[in-house]
């Protein structure tokens, strides 16, 4: 059973689980690394046409719910993504992600001399509206590209 979406794509909907939509193109593999385990059934669509984004990635995880931490990490990678929780072929809950303004323990500071990299202290960052993260401890800043590469997986 396949369904035609608004974007004109043919994808197999899942009966139960979690779908992640509106991922920027190229981010699905990192999302997979964050949420996937060898036991999961996950379908990934990469660089598919999107009216909203031009092109986008999609991830469908069957029979799987994401943890708060996994959702927080996805919000760092894709602040405008949408997470749908599916039950009995229906969207039971829609979560529209937002860029967090503060994150703790999810990313590693770019500064090798930062106290969070030297001692066992959880990292803490403030993220501004332009997506720049600033370390609470050493005040070094990172672009989204830089901190996405330093998400703890």
Which residue ranges make up the site for Zn ion (CB under 5 A)? 109, 111, 114, 135, 137-138
Looking at beta carbons only, is 86 or 127 nearer to Zn ion?
A: 127
- List all residues 6 or more positions away from 2 whose beta carbon is below 8 Å from its beta carbon: 10, 11, 12
Nearer Cβ to Zn ion, position 50 or 116? 116
On whether the CB atoms of residues 20 and 79 are closer than 8 A, the answer is no
Q: How far is the CB of 144 from Zn ion (least distance, A)?
A: 16
Shorter beta-carbon distance to Zn ion: residue 22 or 134: 134
Q: Which residues contact 131 (CB under 8 A, 6 or more apart)?
A: 79, 99, 143, 144
- Least Å from the CB of residue 97 to Zn ion: 25
Minimum distance, C-beta of residue 146 to Zn ion, in the bound complex (Å): 12
- Give least dist CB 43 to Zn ion, A: 37
Measured from the CB atom, is 5 or 141 closer to Zn ion?
141
């Amino acid at each position: 059973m396949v369904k035609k979406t608004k974007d004109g794509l043919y994808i197999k909907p899942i009966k139960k689980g979690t779908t992640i939509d509106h991922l920027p193109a190229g981010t699905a593999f990192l999302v997979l690394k964050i949420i996937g385990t060898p036991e999961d059934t996950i379908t990934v669509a990469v660089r598919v046409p999107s009216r909203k984004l031009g092109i986008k990635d999609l991830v469908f995880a069957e029979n799987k719910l994401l943890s708060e931490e996994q959702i927080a990490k996805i919000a760092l990678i894709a602040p405008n993504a949408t997470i749908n929780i599916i039950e009995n072929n229906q969207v039971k809950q829609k979560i529209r992600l937002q860029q967090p303004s503060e994150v703790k323990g999810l990313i590693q500071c770019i500064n090798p001399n930062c106290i969070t990299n030297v001692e066992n202290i959880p990292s803490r960052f403030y993220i501004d509206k332009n997506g720049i993260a600033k370390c609470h401890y050493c005040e070094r800043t990172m672009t989204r590209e830089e901190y996405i590469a330093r998400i703890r997986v």
